[in-house]
Amino acid sequence: MWPFVILVFGGGVLFAKKGLNYMKNYKIGISNSKNLSAPYNFNIFFNKLMLKNDLKGFERTMSKSEAYKILNLTPTSNKEKIREVHKQLMLKNHPDNGGSTYIAAKVNEAKDILLK
């Protein structure tokens, strides 16, 4: 009996998730009326929990355009500006100061690509 209950419950959860993804992809949704019983913050939390993020991940080999986006610079920036922004970002995101090693590595990689 229990395997059947678990199977039905799991299938229902997967069906609901696929339905939410379908609604998101085709921009079908509930109107933002005040009659909804769930609070607004709950909807944001639920979307972050269940739905995939729209942002693309990093490319396998970093391109110059991705490096400019990571450092938040324009292609007309000079080498001095690149070094200055890199230093500021590393001070904020260095692993010794509680930052992420992954973010620090991406910032360093972006600087190296732009200064070549």
* Highest mean pLDDT: which range of 10-24, 30-44, 48-62, 89-103: 89-103
pLDDT band at 44 (very low <50, low <70, confident <90, very high): low
Q: pTM for this one?
A: 0.51
Secondary structure (3-state) at 81: helix
Contact 79, 115 (CB under 8 A): yes
Other beta carbons within 10 angstroms of residue 111's beta carbon come to 21
Rounded CA separation 16/76 (Å): 47
User: Tokens 């732009």 map to which residue?
Assistant: 114
For the chain, the domains span 2-50, 64-114
Give the distance, in angstroms, between the CA of residue 28 and the centroid of all CA atoms in the same chain. Answer: 22
pLDDT band at 113 (very low <50, low <70, confident <90, very high): very high
The HSE-up count of residue 61 (CA atoms within 13 Å, CB side) is 1
Contact 38, 45 (CB under 8 A): no
Q: Does domain 64-114 have CATH number 1.10.287.110?
A: yes
